[in-house]
Structure 1
């Protein structure tokens, strides 16, 4: 005890937050200025801290300490800014991400037996939201408290989550009339169910509440069973075209099921069905696989691998990866992207948010951009920070556009920041006209790969397979290269002695795939063109050996 130092506490409410330090490390100090029973609060805090032992701080922020300082009960929590929603109502997308974060965080509290009020969410990005530090019930917590009062069991936490989500969407407490016309009625109904006065009328769990809210915000009415053989669970992702739910096949295998919005139209739905069918045949160890394209009247779904390790965005968090780790990750992703291109499909949205990580840390390219083909031709659907210049200029997205986006991702993996920042218009201008600044510390061959991917001329960029081959010598795979075969398992090729990566990007143009993938398997990708010089060198070496040892 006595390790917590608290800054000046000015006037404020019964609970204020000030800068502090714990054992010399900066923290946020939550100071209770109202008169309370200090012993009871500290005992409750110690119980919460014990329940949070070993919890991932990216899901729930830890309680670092609790003690009495200058006669006031103080809690040490990680440094944080303003909570989500402090600047006013949030968008549907942010609210859906908030519901997912609440579902994950509060469900973890329930599993650990932590009974306390539901804290607010913190984070600067929709994929970086985490539950704040759980604290004992404090003066001022009444805004989200359930009407029945009493202990903070799961029914009370369901009510508090619904109340917090209502505040995030409206900026105020629950009212008889929901004030926003852009929020689907199904989402509002889910919130009202969570706010029911009788605990027995509320959803049975926080996950049940947040799943219903996210499904409602996505415009998808998520069924419990789908496609004749899949049982659906909680929402684990959301996009502009639908919602992703955890699911199980009839044999018990864990999968993810994406349900597309039923209002996309018949033509768009048919394109989605066709493209997803093509992707079922694509295999690569670093690609989220498509398994099935089930459907019911008015509803199309896609069954994919379920991956539980988070996203590359969370791993990066504005920090560069070590050179070898970054090169390994990028070579793997480039190989997966080459497999997709070999099947005649363009991803269209390569970015850290669409790279999932297994629990072992292996990257998996996900969210293949089939859904982006449903956009009207005149509508530019893209991620501004990663879009290729030719797409901004109105050209169709082909494999070189994916390679450009991979180059943006590579730049961030090696440096901790993307090559360009700013508003959407500033980003578009930079992609079209500016060259990225060369970061320090990158070997020339590695920078050559990144710079060639970020070239303005799509025809001068390397293919994804060439990127994998050129980064392999800097990875921990000792030159092992996955050369994908279209619509088949990968073809491992181990060069006898990998040559140094070329300095200049290949000049041969890259052909764009047809809009509709052909029924027959396409020709092998251009990346295998490097095999003929390797073969020639091997033959030449054999001839030299024969001559050298001839009598």
Structure 2
């Protein structure tokens, strides 16, 4: 029997819905508008993590303007961010290294703000990073966000999940930094450190014999080896051997860029 099309509600959190953008398993994202100002909004149902970011503002974080619960389901209203997912940008090829490092600096600045508030994103991927028309990176989609040390579940995108997150352990900031390391690897090489379907990636990351992830210079020889060390640390299996903060990670990249 065909599944009937999803019909979005007329309003979410009291904000009028203007278009359905996506719907899956009882969750939806819609375009909307603020009736008071006419400003465009992203309205979401079934995204509980968004509420954690209420009041948190940073130029590289999508702003959560309001959140609540409606008919037992969490809802949120976010400022509309015009842009193209980094995933689509990467599909066009490896960006210039200067641009890649600028986007990485913006991502790490956003994570420093998020982690400073005690929040872990838990799904940092190129699909959840928007590149605006003026070339700025903005972190979006906080549906899996949790307080640091909470939210123990194996939820996320396997290619970007830290080993402890795959095991279902509560994640802290270092899980986001691992994911950011995967994004940097992809920005520099156009490839992922661990490749294959979801099951193959999990098997490689959680393999019984500890092994370092492939060096970016092996994936993209023209890159040279100057980023090998920083990415080996970012993607360390043991969280204690990774960068311990976004600012520490950013400083290591800046040092390489300045050399």
Q: TM-score, normalization: structure 1?
A: 0.42
Q: Aligned pair in 2 of structure 1 residues 293, 396: CA closer, same or farther (>3 Å)?
A: same
The partner residue of 2:29 within 244, 248, 260 is 244
Rg bigger for which structure?
Answer: 1
Match of 1:359 in 2: 133
Pairing 1:453–2:254 present? no
For the aligned residue pairs, the C-alpha RMSD in angstroms reads 2.6
Shift of 1:285: 1.1
Shift of 1:306: 1.2
Pairing 1:470–2:252 present? yes
Shift of 1:318: 6.4
Three-state SS of the structure 2 residue aligned to 1:361 is: coil
Mark the runs of 5 or more structure 1 residues left unpaired by the alignment. Answer: 1-178, 189-212, 262-271, 476-499, 502-551
Shift of 1:281: 2.5
Q: Aligned pair in 2 of structure 1 residues 356, 239: CA closer, same or farther (>3 Å)?
A: farther
The partner residue of 2:93 within 299, 319, 334 is 319
**How far apart in 1 are the matches of 2:92 and 2:240?**
31
Contact 1:292 1:304 in 2 (8 A): yes
| Number of aligned residues | 247
Match of 2:57 in 1: 283
Mark the runs of 5 or more structure 2 residues left unpaired by the alignment. Answer: none
Q: TM-score, normalization: structure 2?
A: 0.84
Contact 1:290 1:304 in 2 (8 A): yes
**How far apart in 2 are the matches of 1:378 and 1:290?**
23
The partner residue of 2:9 within 209, 223, 230 is 223
Match of 2:114 in 1: 340
Q: Aligned pair in 2 of structure 1 residues 447, 238: CA closer, same or farther (>3 Å)?
A: farther
The partner residue of 1:437 within 214, 217, 225 is 214
**How far apart in 2 are the matches of 1:279 and 1:454?**
27
Q: Aligned pair in 2 of structure 1 residues 419, 354: CA closer, same or farther (>3 Å)?
A: same
Pairing 1:297–2:71 present? yes
**How far apart in 2 are the matches of 1:378 and 1:398?**
10
Match of 1:329 in 2: 103
Contact 1:335 1:465 in 2 (8 A): yes
Output aligned runs, 1:87-166, within 5 Å: none
Match of 1:380 in 2: 154
Match of 1:253 in 2: 39
Match of 1:507 in 2: none
Pairing 1:389–2:175 present? no
Output aligned runs, 1:183-194, within 5 Å: 183=3, 188=4
Contact 2:31 2:40 in 1 (8 A): yes
Contact 1:350 1:402 in 2 (8 A): yes
Q: Aligned pair in 2 of structure 1 residues 328, 396: CA closer, same or farther (>3 Å)?
A: same
Shift of 1:331: 1.0
**How far apart in 1 are the matches of 2:139 and 2:165?**
21
**How far apart in 2 are the matches of 1:322 and 1:334?**
19
Contact 2:194 2:213 in 1 (8 A): yes
Q: Aligned pair in 2 of structure 1 residues 305, 472: CA closer, same or farther (>3 Å)?
A: farther
Q: Aligned pair in 2 of structure 1 residues 226, 437: CA closer, same or farther (>3 Å)?
A: closer
Considering fraction of residues, name the structure with more strand: 2
Contact 1:237 1:245 in 2 (8 A): yes
